[in-house]
Homo-oligomer: A and B are copies of this chain.
Amino acid sequence: MVTNTVAIDAMSGDFGPRVIIPSTLQYLQGNPGTRVVFVGKTDAIEPLINRRFAHRVDVVHASEIIGMDEVPSQALRHKKDSSIHVAVDLVKNGLASACLSAGNTGALMGVSKIKLRTIDGVDRPAICGAVPSLESHSYLLDMGANVDCSAEHLLQFAIMASVMARALDGKVSPTVALLNNGEEDTKGNHQVKEASELLAAKECLNYIGFIEGHRIFEAVADIIVCDGFVGNIALKASEGVATYIMDKIRKEIKSDPVTRLLSWFAIPEFRRVSSKVDPRRLNGAVLLGLKGVVVKSHGHADQLAFGYALEYAYRMLSVDIVSQLDQEFQSLV
Do residues B234 and A144 form an inter-chain contact, with CB atoms below 8 A?
Answer: no
Instruction: Check: A245 CB closer than 8 A to any chain B CB.
Output: yes
The distance from the CB of A127 to the nearest CB of chain B, in whole angstroms, is 11
Write the A152-182 contact mask toward B (1 if CB under 8 angstroms, else 0). 0000000000000000000000000001110
Q: Is the interface of A mostly helix, strand, loop or mixed?
A: helix
A241-B217, A262-B265, A269-B262 given; A252·B277 CB < 8 A? yes
Instruction: Check: A79 CB closer than 8 A to any chain B CB.
Output: no
Instruction: Check: A332 CB closer than 8 A to any chain B CB.
Output: no
Give the oligomeric copy count: 2
A234-B233, A237-B216 given; A134·B181 CB < 8 A? no
Chain B residue at smallest Cβ distance from A148: B189
CA distance A229 to B144 in the complex (A): 16
A188-B147, A243-B214, A277-B248 given; A238·B238 CB < 8 A? yes
CB-CB < 8 A to A192: which residues of B? 229
Range of interface residues on A (Cβ < 8 Å): 35 or more
Do residues A134 and B239 form an inter-chain contact, with CB atoms below 8 A?
Answer: no
Instruction: Check: A18 CB closer than 8 A to any chain B CB.
Output: no
Write the A223-255 contact mask toward B (1 if CB under 8 angstroms, else 0). 000101110111111111111111111011100
Question: For A247, A248, A251, which residue has the most chain B Cβ atoms within 10 angstroms?
Answer: A248
Name A236's contact: one of B212, B251, B273 (CB within 8 Å): B212
Instruction: For the complex of A and B, list the 9 residue pairs with the smallest distance between their C-beta atoms, beginning with the closest.
Output: A213-B236, A214-B240, A213-B237, A238-B241, A181-B232, A217-B244, A234-B237, A252-B273, A147-B189
Residues on A facing B (Cβ under 8 Å): 69, 71, 73, 132-134, 144, 147-148, 179-181, 184, 186-190, 192, 212-218, 226, 228-230, 232-249, 251-253, 256, 258-259, 262, 265-266, 269-270, 272-273, 276-277
